[in-house]
Each structure stands twice: as structure tokens, then as C-alpha cells.
């Protein structure tokens, strides 16, 4: 019952934030698989049962649900641009956690060391290879990229960008170039230097004030 309640709350939060849920159904499958990882598939998120031993893993549940928009409704045009899936889902997770009582600044503070270490080890986010797909570069680094965009364009434009990216592109595959084009169209700003620093540089940038 608690699992159903949390899922319903998260669905309600995301639909209010970014628009209608993009599919007809959604479910959660909790199983006793040996491999301990969460995985979203279209309309179904899969979790290992041991992750629920201390209660539902609320943040991870939000992350996998967010993938129904970022990853399943709007898919990748190029695999080295996985940040468009994992960075978006991570940032949406942070927004849900903020609504659930975890300040956004706390999520950001925790993410910066992981993103910095991953940048030093693997290089630029858009230099992602098979060996660095599932690293903090695309998760924390991608989410921090969105926070940098938000601080640059302001909340009104940022959330319009977020909604239009996830709703208008439903059923399509998109690239970073398309994201930049949309963000610049909405904000009226040249975001090339910002996105170059966050996505194409081997050096970790500092978040705008």
C-alpha cells in the first residue's frame, strides 16, 4: 500500500511539473534477482527486493519513473549523449526529493564531488564511451548541467524548456544539438559557451551564481 501511495504521489508530481504521463500504464516489479540494480523499461520499473528492506527507496523510484519521460518517451539520438537520459532523470529525482523535504542544494552539494571525479577520470561528458556510459559523468554531471542552464536562463524559461523537451518531443529521438536549439529559442540566449563548458570540456566548471 505504501509503495502504491508513493508511486501515485510521484506520478502526480511529475505530471504537474512536466506534463501528462506519456503511456497508458505504469508498474513496478520487485524481484529477487542476483544483480543489484534498478532498471526502467517502458511502462515498468524493475528493482531488487533487498532495496526495499528498509522501506521503499523513494529517490530511486522517482528516478526510474522520470525515465518514462526522459529515455522512454524521448529517446537518445546518440549513445554518447546518455546525459539526456540520466542527467534529466537525476535532475527530476532531485526536484521530487526537494518536494519531499530534501533541499535541492543538498542534492547538488552531494553530486559535485562525484561529477568532478568522473570528469577527471573519463573526460568530457560528450566523450562518453561504452566503458563510461553508466558513470557519474552522465548522472550527476548531466544533472548539474541542467542546474547550470536553470541558473543561467531563470526558472520560468528553464521549466518551459524542460516541459517542451519532454512533451513536444514525445515519440522521437533527440540530440544535444536539439536541446541547445530549444533552450536558446526559449531563453533568447546564446548557450553555446555554457554547454561547451559543461558537456565538452575535460575540466569541471563551476555552477553559475
Half-sphere exposure of 153 toward its Cβ, with a 13 Å CA cutoff? 28
Pick the catalytic residue from 40, 64, 81, 147. 64
Cα 205 to Cα 76: distance, rounded to the nearest angstrom = 25
To the query of whether residue 64 is one of the catalytic residues in this protein, the response is yes
Q: How far, in Å, CA of 135 to CA of 154, rounded?
A: 28
Residue 82 contacts residue 76 (beta carbons within 8 Å): yes
Rounded CA-CA distance 122/183 in Å is: 26
Q: How far is CA 73 from CA 96, 147, 151, in A?
A: 19, 22, 26
Longest Cα separation, the chain: 50
Separation of first and last alpha carbons in the chain = 42
The set of catalytic residues is: 64
Amino acid at each position: 500500500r505504501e509503495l502504491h501511495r508513493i508511486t501515485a504521489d510521484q506520478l502526480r508530481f511529475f505530471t504537474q511539473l512536466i506534463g501528462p504521463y506519456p503511456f497508458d500504464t505504469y508498474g513496478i516489479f520487485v524481484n529477487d534477482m542476483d544483480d543489484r540494480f534498478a532498471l526502467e523499461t517502458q511502462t515498468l520499473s524493475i528493482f531488487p527486493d533487498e532495496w526495499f528492506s528498509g522501506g521503499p527507496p523513494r529517490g530511486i523510484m522517482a528516478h526510474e519513473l522520470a525515465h518514462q519521460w526522459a529515455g522512454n518517451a524521448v529517446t537518445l539520438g546518440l549513445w554518447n549523449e546518455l546525459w539526456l537520459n540520466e542527467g534529466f532523470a537525476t535532475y527530476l529525482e532531485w526536484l521530487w526529493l526537494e518536494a519531499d523535504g530534501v533541499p535541492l542544494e543538498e542534492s547538488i552539494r552531494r553530486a559535485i564531488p562525484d561529477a568532478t571525479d568522473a570528469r577527471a577520470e573519463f573526460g568530457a561528458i560528450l566523450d562518453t564511451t561504452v566503458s563510461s556510459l553508466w558513470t557519474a559523468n552522465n548522472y550527476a554531471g548531466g544533472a548539474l548541467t541542467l542546474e547550470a542552464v536553470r541558473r543561467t536562463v531563470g526558472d520560468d524559461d528553464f521549466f518551459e524548456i524542460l516541459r517542451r523537451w519532454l512533451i513536444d518531443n514525445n515519440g522521437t529521438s533527440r540530440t544535444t544539438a536539439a536541446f541547445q536549439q530549444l533552450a536558446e529559442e526559449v531563453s533568447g540566449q546564446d548557450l553555446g559557451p555554457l554547454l561547451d563548458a559543461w558537456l565538452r570540456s575535460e575540466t569541471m566548471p563551476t555552477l553559475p551564481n
